[in-house]
Structures are given as structure tokens and as C-alpha cells.
């Protein structure tokens, strides 16, 4: 048998137990209030050192029969107890509301948006981070009469809906002797877009089919010239300005775009597997958006007609993010 | 919106924090420099400057080699100064060296914390050297600074100095009650192991030799030697002995070499071996009890004098001295300890004035010692005594003759003339002016010539009864020397030749005994300043009685007063009761207090308005909006239309449009609303 304990494994084991216990106690919500039910407190390493110094002074006082040194030792002990209360008080009565998440592509950090407020006069030096996150929001200060909006980053790996992880809220204020902390679960989810992955432009250009030319197309393409109006031409393409000048009915001719639409199609993109293909589509969606070209999305089960702009982009990216995943 | 800050930047010390740390360290170190080698402050200043220069970016942190060199320098200097001696001073100096050196190492918060923790130890070290009220106050202020510094490490925005101090003061104030409680109830353990003692306690008081001028040098000092509190026997108020009985014996000087008197136990080892330490009462002494004797029980708070002797009135019959290590009874009817008294201590003694000692006779060694005289000096004194002996005078008659002569022909003065080789002759027949040591010395000399065993006793005589509290202050200026002669049937008898010359010295103290122009030498004003001094001394006295000498016994009496006894079950019951009670209070406050809804100011005002209307018979229905209610109210009370409408409008403005500036107006309207 292997008796050599792996410290990390042991830690993980207890943390798992601890979180299981927490989940039984607290449900996840969008609004949390910190109080004695969800705050934990324990001395820090610095705190133990302080206790050791305290003991040394007590020994000094006892051995020299010096009441004042003893008094100093007792003061330190009392200070420690006061710190328990103050450290707790600093975090208690804080309200935390999760109000959403920022836009994010898989692989980078998503910022969850929180608003903090306290019903005390102030709360000092609070550190915030998600479980498993290396980056943290350090040194948050609150004042009693204001609500503070902050973003806390959480790392992401894959696309799709991502639930906010446990949020660690901790503080060692005022003297660093004790650490008061809590793990909160919020029922907020962030939609993580696929990671853009540059690949060959998909054969996404579909020749416009007969009968589809009446579908309105927003925006304009390269204008190439005019030709005489024939019955059956779309009224939309009539050069009304020319007509108004008395130049007769003409139809504007567009060299390529009028007959061609960009479709992002899963079948047409290159990639080793589904994820890579979706990443490729994501890349090109962003690319077309940048080039200010209209594009549509064609996924099995999802059909988004070509267009562009903020709303369209979001629709396309969301569809890509969720494709093939169970909600 | 804020973004996550750089973590690294947070780990570094800010300018503010560093200033706080330097400030706290300086505060903690300053008083220690008085007791420690002179090079330490220089070293400290250098390192501090270095750290400041590092912060300003002018100099750099020392590398490992530099640090090692600095440490080696420290150790070398310490070894040079203390020569490998162990004790408090080397220990504290070593601590401070490390403390100071740490300064050039800190650039992270973590290091700063270690530094600040050492501050606490340095504060403890201050108390090893000085324990008076001022020292305690100073340490208190230091604590304030240290806590402010520690706090500044743990905040992430900069606080103005005032706020920083205020918040730290709150922390201290919240800690004090518990600290007091701990101080009172925490059990005091005895010394756990032997610790190196302090060396450099100021020597005040006399030494173990007496030559002309020893005591007259002391009498100018108003410094306190010890304080005496007399304990009341049952049912009576504490009785302070009359001045003529206040002879505080310190040590006995038996050996005379013609110039100075010395005690016979020159070596410490001899003293330690000869002390009777086994019981509270002296068992090796010959004491003849007498029914007329007056017994006093008193406790003495002795200032450190770094000597082996303790003070007591004749004859000590009981001693309780848990604070004094190795205290016991010495053969010469003295109290002594085998370790020098290096800190202020308290001990209790019972003395019976009137008991006789050594009535049965002296041992041969003792007899030899107490008749010893130097050869071939003072021929005139020798002639004088031989004349008396030839005249057939008895021992008592000789004593009386000497005292009469002192009384008639001698002068008591603080500025006696210098004496030559035959000092007794010169004093007796030429100068005839002297201080107590001259009188005691020559008296014992004459007695020994007359074959009467005699010895010089040094100690204090008198003491000032504090005008503000019932205790006796004995100062260095009360230092005195007198004689003891051994008479058959009487044993050792105290004779104070000074009393024969200047009776007022004994009855009223030194100030009244010397001529007016000499009184100025003694210092000590009269009037309001004297009173202030008395109060100051009272504070010191109380401080010592209540704080410094708080021990097991005082604890027991406190428990008895507070809980009615010291049995374990009683204490346990109180402990459980008090802890449970305070927990219950906290419970009530957190759980019931937490349920109370937080109300806004305008809601509170509006509810007062509602209550006023309800008292008139109109209550707001549930679900009725303020405006609807106002309409109904106006309908009922058209005479109050104005105020009702104004209040409702103000309330809705504040509550729904956030116009909180109208708050005071609303409150005023509600207040003025007729009930």
C-alpha cells in the first residue's frame, strides 16, 4: 500500500467534501447577502505566527514574573479576539448581485459582472476570484452609500453556456490575523462563443437561386452600372434618381453581389472535427463582420439569413456557440 | 468600473505603509537605547537611512554577501560589548540587531509583518527595563502605532492619518475589556525556568561599606527607597509606628579598619549558605518574647537596589516573600536574599518591637567580631575610655556618658569637616561636627574600647506618611546609621547616638534637624508642588500595588470578592454563566436584530404622520397608496388639507424620485403636524 500522502490530493479530497456540504446548505442564487450562515473564518499563517509571538511574550512575562509583559501578552490575545469580530464584520452585511457576463470567446476569460454594496459604513480590502481562476480581483473597497460594479474574470475552455463557478470572497482586514471567506454560487450563465480559428475561406458563396431575388437585402454591394428596365426586374433596383431626372426607367446592375450571398455552412468549412469547423465558421463570421459584408448561417437545424450588424452577429455567434450542445 | 489590479503591485510596500512601519519601529526602539550599548542607535540610524534611500531609489538592497557581512558585524559588536555574557541586555540587543537588519530586507508585505511582530517583542523588552506608569503609557502609545502600521499593510486604499489612528484606536478600545479580564483571571504560574537576570539596574542606596561621607551623599536624593503599607489587624485601623520606632535595618557592619566599616560576609556564597529560608518564621534565632511588644504586619515595596539585603524593623518574626527569590533570615537578625534585588519587589513582614534577641549570650566568634578594633589609632579616645573604666563606670553609665557628651558638645550637620588618619580622635576632640555616620562610628568605637560588644547598623530611619494615602514613603534621604550594643540581660539593644545630638532628626525627619540654610540641600518643596508630588507618588504606589504586584493571592481575593469563593465549581459556574450569557446576548442581537427591517428615513417620518392621524381616528388601509390616503384624509379633515398634502407630496418625491434633500423638510412638516 502506498502511504505517502499527496498533499494536493488530500486537499482536493477535503475541498470536495466541503463543497458538497456547502451545496447542501446553500442554493445558488442571483443575490447573496453575507452573514453568519455563509461566512467562514480561520486564522491565517500570519495569525498563527502572531499567536506564537503572543506565547513567547507570555513565557517572558511568566519567567520574569513581569505583570506588564503579561499584560502585553493578554492584550495581544484580546486583539486577536477583536480581530475575529472585525474581520467577520468587514464582510458581513455585504450584498452581492450577479448581473450578467461579458462577451467572451472560448479560451479567454469571461468577465462576470457583479454589483457589491454593504449596509455598513465601509468594507475594506476584499479579494474576489472564481474557483480555479488564477486571476483575481484584488482589494475591493466598499462604502456604505454606494453600489460598486465590478468584473471578475473566470477562465473558459469550451463554447456553450457556462455557469458561473463558485465565487470566493475573502478578506484579511484589519490586521491579517484571520481570513474570513465564503464560497458563493450564482445562478448566472455566460454564453461562451467558439474560439475563432483561422482557416481557408469556406466555399460559402451560394449562387442566388431563381425566385429568391425579392428577398430584401440590406446594405449595398458594388455598383457596376445601369441597364434598360425590363418588366420583371425588381422595383427595388430601379434607379429612381435617373427616372426622376426624366432619364427613363433603368435598373441598377451589381457586378457580383446581387447574384451572390455568403452563407456560412458547416458542410463547406474545412476542419478536422466539429469543434474545429465551428471555430472556423466563427472566425469567418467575425471576418465578414469586419469587412462589413452580409453573411448567413446554415447549420443543421438552424438557418439564419444573411445580414450583418451587432444583433445579427450575436445571433450567429450564439447559434454557433450552442450548436450540438444540450441546453 | 474597475479592473483587476496587478497582484504584484499589491505585494509591494507602499510609501505610506513603509512610513508607518518606520514610525512604529522608531517608537518601539527609542526607550530601549537607554539601556543598551551606544553603538546600537548608530547602527539603527544607518540602516533606517539606508532603507529610506532604497525607497527613494538612490541605493539598492544589499545582496546576500552584504547581508551576511552586516549580520557578522552585529554579532562581532555584540560579542565585543558583552564578552559572551548571557543576560537580558545581550538578549535584547541581539533581538534589536535582527529587528533593525530586517529593515533592509523588507520589500514585500509578508516581511513587513514579521518586522511588526518583532515590535511587540521589543515592547515586551521595554517592560523588562522599566515598569512605571510612564513606561506603560509609552508602550500603550507604541502599541497604537504598531497596530496602525499593521493595519496599513492590510488595507488596499490609502487612509488619511487621522482615520488610520482612529480605526486603530477602535481596535484597541475593543480589545481592552478582554485584556483586563484576562489580566485579572488568568492564573499566574511561577517561574518556569531560570532566566538570565538583568545586570545594569541603577544602583541606588548604600553599599556594604560605610565611611564618612557615604550617607551624607545619599541624603540629597529624594529618590524612593521603599514604601511600607501597614496592615490592620482584625477590627482595627492600620497602625503606623511612631517615628522613633521606624528603624529599617538594612545591614550590620562589624568590621572596622580605622577608616570604614564593612560587613563581615563579603562573599555572596557565604551569605547564601547562611540564610535560613526554610520557614516563614526564623528558627535559628534566639528570641525572647515579651508581652509588652507591639507587633506590626506590613508589606514593603522595595525599589531595585541590586543588593542582597531587605529592610525590616527589629525583630522580624514572619516573612512572606514569593516575589523575592531566595529570601531568608540572616544570623544578624536581618532579612536578606541570595540574589540581588534587580526589579521592584514586594514582601510582607511581621515585626515585634520589644522582643529581645540573643539574651543568652553571644558565640565566641560573634563576640570577637563585635569587639574588633584596629591597632594603634585614636590614642585620645583610648585614654578617655580607660579613664572611665578606671573610674569604675558600669556599661550603662559609659553609654550614658557618651550620649550626654554628644548631646552637649556636638553639632549635627550635613557638611561635616574632613577627617584625617585618627578619625575618631579628630571627630571626638577637635571638629565635633558630624553626620549620623560619624556619631554611629565613633560611638561603636568607644563601646568596643570599653569592651562592650557593639556594631554599626545601616538602614533607613523614619519615612514620610503620605498625605493622600495611608502608607509610608521611605526615601534615600532617610538613610541612617546607628549602633547596637549587646548588654547582658537585654541582648542586642539599639542605641542611636544621632538621637542624642539632634532628637528632631528622629522625631521629625532630616529636614527639621538641620539648619535652615542646609535644608535647601535636601530639596523637596513645600506646598502645592509637594502635594502634586505626593499624588504622583500615590499613583506610582497604586500602580505597583494594583498592577505590578498582582499575583495569585490578589487574584484569590478578587475572586472571593467577585464570586464569593475560590472553589473550582464556583469559578466554573461563573465561567459557564458569563460565557453563556454573553453568547445569548449575541444570539439575540444577531437573530432578532437581523429580522428588523431596515427603514428609510422618509418612511419613518411618514409613519409618524400616519400614527398621528390614526390617533385622531383615521387609519390607512392596507394597500392604500399615499395619494389615495391623502385624498381620504383631506375629506375627513379639511382643516389640515395644507399639511396633509404637503407631507404626502414630499414623501412621494423622496420615495419615488429620490429627492433626499427634502428629508429635513418632511421631518419638520411631520413634527409640526397637529396630533
Query: Per residue in B406-459, pLDDT tens?
Result: 888 888 887 788 787 788 888 888 888 888 888 999 999 999 999 999 999 999
Instruction: Check whether B66 has a pLDDT greater than 90.
Output: no
User: Which residue in B7, B135, B598 is closest to A138 by CB distance?
Assistant: B7
Asked whether the beta carbons of residue A71 and residue B547 sit closer than 8 angstroms, the reply is yes
CA distances from A91 to A73, A88, A122, B133, B628 (A): 28, 6, 10, 39, 42
For strands A31-33 and A160-163, give the pairing.
unpaired
User: Which residue in B154, B156, B171 is closest to A82 by CB distance?
Assistant: B171
Kindly identify which residue of chain B lies nearest to residue A112, measuring between CA atoms: B3
Q: Note whether B217 and B85 are same-domain residues.
A: no
Asked whether the beta carbons of residue A53 and residue B120 sit closer than 8 angstroms, the reply is yes
Mean pLDDT confidence for B59-87: 84
CB contacts, 8 Å: A119 with chain B: 598
Q: What's the confidence (pLDDT) of residue A41?
A: 94
Closest CA to A297 of A315, A311, A309, A276: A315
* Structural domain harbouring B259: 209-524
Cβ count within 10 A of residue B511:
17
Cell representation of residue B164: 488610520
Whether B565 maps to a domain, the answer reads no
Chain B contact present for A228, CB below 8 A = no
CB contacts, 8 Å: A75 with chain B: 143, 175-176, 179
Chain B contact present for A71, CB below 8 A = yes
Instruction: Check whether B552 has a pLDDT greater than 50.
Output: yes
Q: Note whether B151 and B222 are same-domain residues.
A: no
Asked whether the beta carbons of residue A56 and residue B131 sit closer than 8 angstroms, the reply is no
Asked whether the beta carbons of residue A74 and residue B124 sit closer than 8 angstroms, the reply is no
Asked whether the beta carbons of residue A65 and residue B127 sit closer than 8 angstroms, the reply is no
For strands A260-265 and A295-299, give the pairing.
parallel
Closest CA to A127 of B110, B158, B10: B10
- Of residues B485 and B623, the one with the higher pLDDT is B485
- Of residues B190 and A5, the one with the higher pLDDT is B190
Confidence of residue B1 (pLDDT cuts 50, 70, 90): very low
* Å between B192 CA and nearest CA of chain A: 6
- Cis upstream peptide for B315 (omega within 30°): yes
Q: Please check whether residue B187 is in contact with residue B435, taking contact to mean a CB–CB distance below 8 angstroms.
A: no
CB contacts, 8 Å: B154 with chain A: 125, 172-176
Confidence of residue B24 (pLDDT cuts 50, 70, 90): very high
Residue B262, beta-bridge partner list: B209, B255
Asked whether the beta carbons of residue A173 and residue B155 sit closer than 8 angstroms, the reply is yes
* Å between A317 CA and nearest CA of chain B: 26
Domains contained in chain B, number: 3
Kindly identify which residue of chain B lies nearest to residue A83, measuring between CA atoms: B171
Mean pLDDT confidence for A48-76: 93
- B640, with CB counted inside 10 A (0-12, 13-18, 19+), is middle
Range from A97-106, A184-193, A243-252 carrying the lowest mean pLDDT: A243-252
Taking the C-alpha atoms of residue B287 and residue A297, their distance in angstroms, rounded to an integer, is 119
Instruction: Check whether B232 has a pLDDT greater than 70.
Output: yes
Asked whether the beta carbons of residue A70 and residue B186 sit closer than 8 angstroms, the reply is yes
Asked whether the beta carbons of residue A138 and residue B156 sit closer than 8 angstroms, the reply is yes
Q: What's the confidence (pLDDT) of residue B465?
A: 81
Asked whether the beta carbons of residue B131 and residue A153 sit closer than 8 angstroms, the reply is no
Confidence of residue B233 (pLDDT cuts 50, 70, 90): low
Q: What's the confidence (pLDDT) of residue B517?
A: 54
Helices (H), B247-377: 268-274, 364-371
Instruction: Check whether A286 has a pLDDT greater than 80.
Output: yes
Asked whether the beta carbons of residue B120 and residue A59 sit closer than 8 angstroms, the reply is no
User: Which residue in A53, A83, A136 is closest to B121 by CB distance?
Assistant: A53
Q: What's the confidence (pLDDT) of residue A223?
A: 65
Q: What's the confidence (pLDDT) of residue B599?
A: 58
CB-based contacts of B179, cutoff 8 Å, min separation 6: A71, A74, A75, A77, A78
CB contacts, 8 Å: A149 with chain B: 1
- Of residues B323 and B168, the one with the higher pLDDT is B168
**ipTM of the modeled complex:** 0.77
User: Which residue in B121, B157, B195 is closest to A56 by CB distance?
Assistant: B121
Mean pLDDT confidence for B403-408: 88
Answer yes or no: B480 catalytic: yes
CA distances from B121 to B116, B137, B557 (A): 9, 17, 31
For cell 459604513, what's the residue?
Answer: A121
Q: What's the confidence (pLDDT) of residue A217?
A: 45
CA distances from B532 to B20, B133, B539, B623 (A): 37, 16, 11, 72
CB contacts, 8 Å: B176 with chain A: 75, 78
- Of residues A241 and A126, the one with the higher pLDDT is A126
CB contacts, 8 Å: A173 with chain B: 154-155
Helix (H) or strand (E) holding B664: helix B663-672
Taking the C-alpha atoms of residue B462 and residue B522, their distance in angstroms, rounded to an integer, is 15
Q: Which of A284-293, B46-55, B162-171, B627-636 has the highest average model confidence (pLDDT)?
A: B162-171
Instruction: Check whether A1 has a pLDDT greater than 50.
Output: no
Q: What's the confidence (pLDDT) of residue B268?
A: 46
Mean pLDDT of chain B, nearest integer: 82
Whether B383 maps to a domain, the answer reads yes
Asked whether the beta carbons of residue B186 and residue A148 sit closer than 8 angstroms, the reply is no
CB contacts, 8 Å: A77 with chain B: 178-179, 182
Range 111-170 of A in CB contact (< 8 A) with B: 119, 124-125, 135-141, 148-153
Active-site residue identified among B305, B436, B478, B544: B436
Taking the C-alpha atoms of residue B27 and residue B21, their distance in angstroms, rounded to an integer, is 10
Instruction: Check whether B659 has a pLDDT greater than 80.
Output: no
CB contacts, 8 Å: B14 with chain A: none
Asked whether the beta carbons of residue B171 and residue A137 sit closer than 8 angstroms, the reply is no
Range from B104-108, B247-251, B473-477 carrying the lowest mean pLDDT: B104-108
DSSP state of B331: T
Mean pLDDT confidence for B238-267: 81
Range from B1-15, B529-543, B600-614 carrying the lowest mean pLDDT: B1-15
Q: What's the confidence (pLDDT) of residue B123?
A: 93
Range from A231-240, A266-275, B175-184, B346-355 carrying the lowest mean pLDDT: A231-240
CB contacts, 8 Å: B135 with chain A: 68
Domain residue ranges of chain A, discontinuous segments joined by +: 23-193, 205-210+222-322
B89-111 pLDDT, tens per residue? Answer: 888 888 888 888 888 877 777 78
Mean pLDDT confidence for B41-60: 87
Answer yes or no: B600 catalytic: no
Taking the C-alpha atoms of residue A176 and residue B156, their distance in angstroms, rounded to an integer, is 12
CB contacts, 8 Å: B4 with chain A: 135-138, 151-153
Q: What's the confidence (pLDDT) of residue B223?
A: 77
Q: Note whether B158 and B251 are same-domain residues.
A: no
B361-373 pLDDT, tens per residue? Answer: 888 888 888 888 8
3-state SS track over chain A: CCCCCCHHHHHHHHHHHHHHHHHHHCCCECEEECCCCCCEEEECHHHHHHHHHHHHHHHHHHHCCCHHHHHHHHHHHHHHHHHHHHHHHHHCCEEEEEEEECCEECCCEEEEEEEEEECCCEEEEEEEEECCCCCCEEEEEEECCCCEEEEEEEECCCCEEEECCCEEEEECCCCCCEEEEEEECECCEEEEECCCCCCCCCCCEEECCCCCCCCCCCCCCCEEEEEECCCCCCHHHECHHHHHCCCCCEEEEECCHHHEEEEEECCCCCCCCHHHHHHHHHHHHHHHHHHCCCEEEEECCEEEEEECCHHHHHHHHHHHHHCCCCC
Asked whether the beta carbons of residue A71 and residue B113 sit closer than 8 angstroms, the reply is no
Asked whether the beta carbons of residue B186 and residue A141 sit closer than 8 angstroms, the reply is no
Whether B631 maps to a domain, the answer reads yes
> Percentage of residues in chain B with pLDDT exceeding 90?
14
Q: Note whether B175 and B268 are same-domain residues.
A: no
Helices (H), B468-551: 497-501, 503-508, 510-513, 516-522, 528-542
Taking the C-alpha atoms of residue A267 and residue A241, their distance in angstroms, rounded to an integer, is 42
Range 86-105 of A in CB contact (< 8 A) with B: 86
Interface test with A, best of B88, B120, B663 (most A CBs within 10 A): B120
Confidence of residue A219 (pLDDT cuts 50, 70, 90): very low
Chain B contact present for A66, CB below 8 A = yes
Q: Note whether B176 and B292 are same-domain residues.
A: no
User: Which residue in B3, B120, B128 is closest to A151 by CB distance?
Assistant: B3
Cβ count within 10 A of residue A89:
14
Instruction: Check whether B200 has a pLDDT greater than 70.
Output: no
Chain B contact present for A10, CB below 8 A = no
Q: What is the full DSSP assignment across B413-466?
A: -SSPPP--SSHHHIIIIII-EE-HHHHHHHHHHHHHHTT--EEEEEEEE--EEP
Cell representation of residue B245: 520606632
Asked whether the beta carbons of residue B157 and residue A124 sit closer than 8 angstroms, the reply is yes
Q: Could you tell me the end-to-end alpha-carbon distance of chain B, in angstroms, rounded to an integer? A: 49
Confidence of residue B235 (pLDDT cuts 50, 70, 90): low
Taking the C-alpha atoms of residue B400 and residue B380, their distance in angstroms, rounded to an integer, is 19
Asked whether the beta carbons of residue B147 and residue A172 sit closer than 8 angstroms, the reply is no
Kindly identify which residue of chain B lies nearest to residue A56, measuring between CA atoms: B121
In degrees, rounded to 5, the angle at the alpha carbon of residue B97 between the alpha carbons of residues B91 and B99 is: 100
Kindly identify which residue of chain B lies nearest to residue A142, measuring between CA atoms: B157
CB pairs under 8 A between A and B: 153
Whether B353 maps to a domain, the answer reads yes
Interface test with B, best of A46, A155, A177 (most B CBs within 10 A): A46
Helix (H) or strand (E) holding B310: strand B309-310
Amino acid at each position: 500500500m502506498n502511504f505517502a500522502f499527496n498533499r494536493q490530493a488530500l486537499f482536493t479530497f477535503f475541498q470536495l467534501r466541503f463543497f458538497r456540504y456547502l451545496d447542501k446548505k446553500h442554493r445558488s442564487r442571483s443575490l447573496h447577502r453575507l452573514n453568519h450562515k455563509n461566512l467562514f473564518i480561520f486564522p491565517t499563517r500570519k495569525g498563527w505566527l502572531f499567536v506564537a509571538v503572543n506565547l513567547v511574550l507570555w513565557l517572558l512575562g511568566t519567567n520574569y514574573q513581569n505583570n506588564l509583559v503579561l499584560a502585553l501578552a493578554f492584550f495581544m490575545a484580546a486583539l486577536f479576539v477583536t480581530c475575529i469580530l472585525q474581520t467577520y464584520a468587514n464582510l458581513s452585511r455585504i450584498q452581492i448581485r450577479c448581473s450578467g457576463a461579458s462577451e467572451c470567446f472560448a479560451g479567454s476569460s469571461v468577465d462576470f459582472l457583479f454589483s457589491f454594496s454593504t449596509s455598513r459604513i465601509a468594507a475594506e480590502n476584499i479579494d474576489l476570484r472564481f474557483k480555479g481562476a488564477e486571476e483575481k480581483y484584488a482589494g475591493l473597497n466598499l462604502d456604505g452609500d454606494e453600489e460598486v460594479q465590478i468584473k471578475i474574470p473566470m477562465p473558459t475552455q469550451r463554447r456553450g453556456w457556462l455557469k458561473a463557478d463558485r465565487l470566493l470572497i475573502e478578506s484579511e482586514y484589519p490586521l491579517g490575523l484571520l481570513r474570513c471567506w465564503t464560497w458563493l454560487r450564482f445562478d448566472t450563465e455566460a454564453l461562451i462563443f467558439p474560439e475563432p480559428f483561422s482557416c481557408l475561406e469556406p466555399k460559402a458563396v451560394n449562387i442566388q437561386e431563381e425566385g429568391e431575388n425579392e428577398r430584401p437585402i440590406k446594405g449595398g454591394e458594388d455598383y457596376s452600372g445601369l441597364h434598360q428596365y425590363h418588366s420583371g426586374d425588381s422595383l427595388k433596383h430601379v434607379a429612381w434618381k435617373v427616372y426622376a431626372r426624366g432619364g427613363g426607367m433603368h435598373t441598377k446592375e451589381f457586378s457580383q453581389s446581387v447574384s451572390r450571398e455568403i452563407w456560412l455552412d458547416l458542410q463547406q468549412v474545412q476542419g478536422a472535427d466539429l469543434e474545429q469547423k465551428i471555430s472556423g465558421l466563427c472566425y469567418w463570421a467575425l471576418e465578414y463582420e469586419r469587412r462589413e459584408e452580409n453573411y448567413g448561417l446554415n447549420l443543421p437545424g438552424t438557418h439564419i439569413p444573411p445580414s450583418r450588424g451587432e444583433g445579427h452577429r450575436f445571433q450567429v455567434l450564439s447559434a454557433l456557440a450552442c450548436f450540438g450542445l444540450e441546453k | 468600473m474597475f479592473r483587476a489590479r496587478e497582484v504584484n503591485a499589491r505585494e509591494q510596500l507602499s510609501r505610506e505603509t513603509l512610513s508607518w512601519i518606520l514610525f512604529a519601529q522608531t517608537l518601539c526602539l527609542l526607550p530601549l537605547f537607554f539601556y543598551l550599548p551606544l553603538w546600537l542607535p548608530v547602527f539603527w540610524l544607518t540602516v533606517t537611512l539606508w532603507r529610506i534611500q532604497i525607497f527613494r531609489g538612490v541605493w539598492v538592497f544589499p545582496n546576500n554577501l552584504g547581508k551576511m557581512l552586516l549580520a557578522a558585524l552585529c554579532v562581532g559588536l555584540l560579542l565585543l560589548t558583552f564578552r559572551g555574557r548571557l543576560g537580558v541586555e545581550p538578549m535584547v540587543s541581539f533581538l534589536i540587531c535582527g529587528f533593525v537588519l530586517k529593515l533592509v530586507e523588507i520589500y514585500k508585505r509578508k516581511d513587513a509583518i514579521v518586522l511588526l511582530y518583532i515590535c511587540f517583542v521589543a515592547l515586551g523588552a521595554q517592560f523588562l527595563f522599566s515598569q512605571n506608569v510612564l513606561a506603560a503609557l509609552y508602550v500603550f502609545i507604541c502599541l497604537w502605532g504598531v497596530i496602525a502600521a499593521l493595519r496599513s499593510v492590510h488595507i488596499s486604499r490609502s487612509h488619511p492619518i487621522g482615520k488610520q489612528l482612529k480605526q486603530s484606536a477602535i481596535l484597541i478600545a475593543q480589545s481592552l475589556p478582554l485584556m483586563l479580564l484576562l489580566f485579572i483571571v488568568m492564573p499566574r504560574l511561577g517561574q518556569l525556568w531560570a532566566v538570565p537576570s538583568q545586570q545594569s539596574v541603577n544602583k541606588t542606596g548604600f553599599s556594604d561599606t560605610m565611611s564618612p561621607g557615604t550617607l551624607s551623599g545619599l541624603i540629597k536624593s529624594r529618590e524612593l527607597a521603599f514604601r511600607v503599607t501597614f496592615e490592620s489587624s482584625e477590627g482595627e485601623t492600620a497602625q503606623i509606628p511612631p517615628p522613633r520606632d521606624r528603624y529599617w535595618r538594612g545591614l550590620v557592619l562589624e568590621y572596622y579598619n580605622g577608616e570604614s566599616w564593612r560587613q563581615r560576609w563579603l562573599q555572596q556564597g557565604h551569605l547564601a549558605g547562611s540564610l535560613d529560608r526554610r520557614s516563614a518564621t526564623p528558627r535559628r534565632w534566639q528570641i525572647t518574647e515579651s508581652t509588652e511588644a507591639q507587633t506590626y504586619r506590613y508589606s514593603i515595596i522595595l525599589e531595585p537596589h541590586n543588593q542582597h539585603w531587605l529592610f525590616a524593623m527589629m525583630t522580624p518574626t514572619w516573612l512572606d516573600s514569593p516575589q523575592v527569590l531566595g529570601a531568608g533570615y540572616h544570623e544578624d537578625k536581618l532579612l536578606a536574599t541570595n540574589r540581588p534585588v534587580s526589579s521592584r519587589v514586594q514582601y510582607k513582614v511581621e515585626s515585634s518591637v520589644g522582643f529581645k534577641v540573643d539574651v543568652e549570650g553571644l558565640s565566641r566568634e560573634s563576640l570577637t567580631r563585635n569587639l574588633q578594633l584596629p591597632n594603634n589609632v585614636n590614642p585620645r579616645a583610648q585614654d578617655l575610655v580607660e579613664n572611665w573604666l578606671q573610674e569604675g563606670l558600669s556599661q550603662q553609665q559609659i553609654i550614658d556618658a557618651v550620649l550626654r557628651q554628644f548631646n552637649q558638645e556636638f553639632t549635627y550637620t550635613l557638611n561635616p569637616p574632613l577627617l584625617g588618619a585618627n578619625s575618631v580622635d579628630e571627630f571626638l576632640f577637635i571638629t565635633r561636627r558630624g553626620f549620623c555616620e560619624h556619631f554611629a562610628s565613633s560611638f561603636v568605637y568607644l563601646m568596643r574600647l570599653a569592651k562592650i560588644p557593639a556594631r554599626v547598623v545601616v538602614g533607613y530611619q523614619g519615612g514620610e506618611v503620605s498625605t493622600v494615602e495611608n502608607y509610608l514613603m521611605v526615601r534615600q534621604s532617610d538613610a541612617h546609621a546607628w549602633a547596637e550594643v549587646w548588654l547582658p540581660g537585654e541582648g542586642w539593644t539599639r542605641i542611636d547616638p544621632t538621637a542624642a545630638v539632634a532628637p528632631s532628626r528622629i522625631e521629625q525627619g532630616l529636614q527639621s534637624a538641620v539648619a535652615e540654610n542646609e535644608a535647601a540641600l535636601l530639596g523637596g518643596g513645600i506646598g502645592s508642588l509637594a502635594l502634586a508630588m505626593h499624588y504622583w507618588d500615590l499613583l506610582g504606589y497604586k500602580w505597583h500595588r494594583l498592577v505590578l504586584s498582582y499575583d495569585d493571592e490578589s487574584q484569590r481575593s478578587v475572586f472571593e470578592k467577585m464570586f464569593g469563593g475560590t472553589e473550582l465549581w464556583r469559578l466554573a459556574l461563573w465561567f459557564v454563566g458569563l460565557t453563556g450569557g454573553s453568547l445569548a446576548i449575541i444570539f439575540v442581537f444577531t437573530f432578532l436584530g437581523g429580522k428588523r427591517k431596515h427603514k428609510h428615513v422618509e418612511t419613518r417620518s411618514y409613519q409618524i404622520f400616519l400614527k398621528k392621524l390614526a390617533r385622531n381616528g383615521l387609519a390607512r388601509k392596507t394597500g392604500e397608496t399615499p395619494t389615495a390616503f391623502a385624498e381620504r384624509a383631506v375629506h375627513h379633515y379639511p382643516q389640515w388639507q395644507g399639511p396633509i398634502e404637503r407631507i404626502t407630496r414630499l414623501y412621494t418625491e423622496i420615495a419615488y424620485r429620490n429627492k433626499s434633500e427634502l428629508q429635513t423638510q418632511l421631518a419638520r412638516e411631520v413634527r409640526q403636524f397637529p396630533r
